[in-house]
Amino acid sequence: MAIERVTVAGLAPSPELDRLLADIESAATRARKASPGDRLDIARFEALSTQLELLVERQASADVRQVDVVLTSGSRSLFGADSKKWEGEIPDEVLQAARSLRAAGLRPIVSISPFVPGTTEAREEPRAAPGPADRWEGDGSTGSKAVEARFRAQIVEAIEAANHDKSVSPISPSGIQNAVVTEILREFVSADDVPAPILAPVEYRDGSRSSNPMALRSLELRENLPSFDIELRFALLSIRHTEMDATVSGAWLRNNEISRPRKQAQTDDLVYSISREQFDVLTKGGERRMRLYLYQTGLEPAVVGFYKALTDHLLEWPRSVAVQPMFFVNRLPQRSKKKRRSGGKSAHGGRKSSPAPTGALFRKGMPWTM
């Protein structure tokens, strides 16, 4: 079995070494504060750490202490003369070696050597591997229809499990068109007689699970939009279809903030948190009735997070919000009969390319209103 071997080396103090250590600490601090996907300071930290590792490798064996211990991910920042910066869960053996080197006037540096030969630790009780997942038998549909059928079957299974006092399995909206997700969720959130909501966990294709469940069978929804005190038209995400800027009042979510690289459940949780706060502000804590036309496209975590927030808001403040989903529809202008008869060729004899879309259309979905 390969193990990690910890080496605590003592380097002779010098202005260059102290500057290198300060730069490494600065790069690590900036990397922790960087936006997801920003690797500039991470790459800088790795390059500087490589320089430090090369210095350790050249160190004489008399100034090196080797310790066979297991370090956690937060215990590898031990370097320099200032012991206040030796952060993390550092084993006593490592601290003792570092203190002895510091007492000798050297700069203690921790270095990790991976894949060093070691002994295998046997478990007292072997643990069996989990069995294969249950196979889902579909209705014969394929492609997007099969994905839709699977999503619907997951929700039905969750409701039946709750009705029989069993553990509710998660539902997964990954890979489903936003219009389909919205319509299916509305179908199963709606209920004529609501004894108690069925809280279904939401899990995405990347394995992440949202902190906020979907409250199924929780609202008495109807089809007609009620009267309102304020009416707004928002795009769900900014900078998705700029041609509708003349139609909407603004964007419910900032695309730059939502569409960053992260686990999908984290995006779901972020959208949920933002939406709950904005619903509360726009309805003045449920005292004002708002009608919202929501022009939505793509990104399942944003769609699910929004409608989870809407459902929970309506559970707290019934009839304070009515949302009319507006789904994007592509439409290409048709060629004239004259062009079809001539084969659609240009004046230079070449075949003309397909015409580009001249606009965007949206169709209404079933409203979410009480």
Is residue 175 situated within a structural domain?
yes
Note down the domain range covering 31: 2-117
Instruction: Specify whether 302 is located in the same domain as 159.
Output: yes
Is residue 126 situated within a structural domain?
no
Instruction: Specify whether 196 is located in the same domain as 303.
Output: yes
| Mean pLDDT to the nearest integer, 332-337 | 48
**Beta-bridge partners for 310:** none
Render pLDDT for 141-192 as a digit per residue (tens, 0 to 9). Answer: 777 788 888 899 999 999 999 988 898 989 999 989 999 999 999 999 999 8
Q: For residue 302, what pLDDT is reported?
A: 95
Residue type, 258: I
Assign 338 a pLDDT band (cuts: 50, 70, 90): very low
Q: For residue 308, what pLDDT is reported?
A: 97
Assign 57 a pLDDT band (cuts: 50, 70, 90): confident
By percentage, how much of the chain surpasses pLDDT 70?
Answer: 82
> Between residues 146 and 119, which one has the greater pLDDT?
146
> Between residues 236 and 28, which one has the greater pLDDT?
236
Question: Which of 83, 117, 151 finishes a domain?
Answer: 117
> Between residues 52 and 213, which one has the greater pLDDT?
213
Whole-number Å distance between alpha carbons of 85 and 146? 55
Q: For residue 88, what pLDDT is reported?
A: 65
Q: For residue 251, what pLDDT is reported?
A: 92
Instruction: Specify whether 102 is located in the same domain as 162.
Output: no
Is residue 289 situated within a structural domain?
yes
Render pLDDT for 273-328 as a digit per residue (tens, 0 to 9). Answer: 999 999 999 999 999 999 999 998 788 999 999 999 999 999 999 999 999 999 98
Reduced 3-state DSSP string for 184-249 = HHHHHHECCCCCCCEEECEECCCCCECCCCEEECCECCECCCCCCCEEEEEEEECCCCHHHCCCCC
Assign 72 a pLDDT band (cuts: 50, 70, 90): low
| Mean pLDDT to the nearest integer, 117-127 | 72
Question: Which of 117, 135, 167 finishes a domain?
Answer: 117
Instruction: Specify whether 41 is located in the same domain as 156.
Output: no
> Between residues 197 and 122, which one has the greater pLDDT?
197
Q: For residue 337, what pLDDT is reported?
A: 46
How many structural domains compose the chain? 2
Name 227's Cβ contacts closer than 8 Å, sequence gap at least 6: 289
